[in-house]
């Protein structure tokens, strides 16, 4: 028999299992008077079906039943994940220690001996339902905590991914800020920054710093003859050829302005700088860019000025640019398509 009182104000649902109708009636009346929802059955198999169909908050279970005993009922309930967490209080006339030990060993949480005292049953039921409620609350709190931890991890992962993307964007912006859009070499800002940086470092180390300044010969007439698009293509090809001529990762090729390029060569002696300048001229020759209006050659050529010095703490990198410009001016004065080297007397 199953009894369903009004559960709206219930303090918990209890399944009573006892083959004695008088015991069931007394227990159910007592528990319902104290605002518990009660269901009651007289057989072990029915107890299993009822508990699994709608798991109660607590089971009060007799040991001696007409079909299967309470121990077997308890073991079956504890082996099913759906009912394993339901607390089971054994209530029995068996008062031997071994009976109690077995009750606890199969999963019972408490043991009440018949004839029972109403107050004792109420206190034990209340205590175990309180523990059950607290256990549920802890499980729910733990689940919420795990969800919060997972959500936080997902947020942190998303933030980390966003930071990486932002870092990549910043790096790309930094790269573009230092890059000449047309030739994809360093721009004038990066040239000035890098030259100052190497100047400061080499003034401490007292090692040489070389600079090559080069200019495309008669580039204005090239633009006038072939058009600005062809002129842009020409500058891109020249920038690539110059870049192929340098050998060290510390060397920097930059578009200094218009058709002029600057090549910064840290820790490079004059002889090596001159060899690089010659290699640049060879790379430009390989391009075979026709320039019918040039007074220097049938193809595009460069004029190059070289200087080299050991930076001093009390001087400025503008000194290096000044001497490289002088050398470039001399190369143009000598008819272009040539290399000129100028050095300060203090370096010679």
What amino acid positions are annotated as catalytic residues?
259
Q: How far apart are CA 333 and CA 348, in angstroms?
A: 23
**115 upstream amide cis, omega within 30 of 0:** yes
Answer yes or no: are the C-beta atoms of 252 and 186 closer than 8 Å.
yes
Is residue 299 packed enough to be buried (19+ CB in 10 Å), middle (13-18) or exposed (0-12)? middle
- Spatial neighbors of 148 by CB under 8 A, at least 6 apart, are none
Q: Which two tokens stand for residue 17?
A: 């299992």
Query: For the chain, where are the E strands, in sequence order?
Result: 13-17, 37-41, 58-61, 88-92, 110-113, 209-216, 252-257, 260-266, 302-309, 339-341
Q: Which two tokens stand for residue 53?
A: 């169909």
Q: How far apart are CA 112 and CA 90, in angstroms?
A: 6
CB neighbourhood size of 54 (10 A): 11
Q: How far apart are CA 97 and CA 86, in angstroms?
A: 24
- Angstrom CA distances, 18 to 57, 87, 103, 116, stand at 17, 17, 16, 13
Q: Which two tokens stand for residue 40?
A: 């009651």
Q: At which residue do the structure tokens 């020409």 appear?
A: 234
- Please provide residue 101's backbone torsions phi and psi, each rounded to the nearest 5 degrees: -60, -45
Cα dihedral sign, 252-254-256-259? positive
Q: How far apart are CA 171 and CA 7, in angstroms?
A: 65
Q: Return the SS3 of 46.
A: helix
């Amino acid at each position: 028999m199953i009894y369903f009182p009004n559960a709206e104000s219930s303090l918990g649902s209890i399944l009573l299992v006892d083959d004695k109708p008088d015991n069931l009636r007394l227990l159910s009346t007592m528990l319902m008077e104290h605002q518990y929802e009660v269901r009651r059955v007289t057989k072990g198999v029915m107890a299993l079906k009822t508990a699994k169909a709608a798991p109660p908050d607590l089971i009060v279970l007799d040991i001696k039943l007409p079909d299967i005993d309470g121990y077997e009922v308890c073991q079956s309930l504890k082996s099913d994940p759906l009912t394993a967490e339901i607390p089971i209080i054994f209530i029995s006339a068996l008062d031997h220690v071994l009976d109690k030990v077995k009750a606890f060993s199969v999963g019972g949480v408490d043991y009440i001996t018949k004839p029972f005292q109403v107050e004792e049953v109420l206190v034990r039921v209340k205590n175990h339902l309180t523990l059950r409620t607290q256990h549920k609350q802890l499980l729910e709190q733990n689940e919420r905590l795990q969800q919060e931890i997972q959500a936080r991890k997902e947020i942190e992962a998303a933030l980390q991914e966003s930071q990486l993307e932002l870092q990549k964007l910043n790096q790309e912006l930094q790269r573009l800020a230092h890059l000449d859009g047309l030739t994809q070499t360093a721009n004038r800002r990066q040239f000035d920054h890098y030259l100052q940086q190497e100047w400061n470092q080499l003034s401490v180390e007292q090692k040489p710093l070389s600079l090559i300044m080069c200019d495309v010969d008669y580039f204005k007439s090239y633009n006038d003859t072939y058009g600005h698009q062809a002129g842009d293509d020409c500058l891109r090809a020249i920038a690539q050829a110059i870049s192929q001529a340098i050998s060290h990762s510390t060397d920097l090729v930059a578009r200094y302005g218009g058709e002029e390029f600057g090549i910064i060569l840290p820790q490079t002696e004059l002889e090596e700088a001159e060899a690089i300048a010659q290699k640049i001229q060879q790379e430009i020759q390989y391009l075979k860019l026709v320039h019918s209006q040039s007074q220097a050659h049938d193809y595009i050529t460069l004029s190059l000025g070289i200087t080299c010095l050991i930076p001093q703490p009390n001087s400025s990198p503008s000194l290096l640019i000044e001497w490289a410009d002088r050398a470039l001016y001399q190369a143009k004065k000598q008819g272009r398509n040539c290399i000129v080297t100028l050095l300060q007397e203090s370096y010679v």
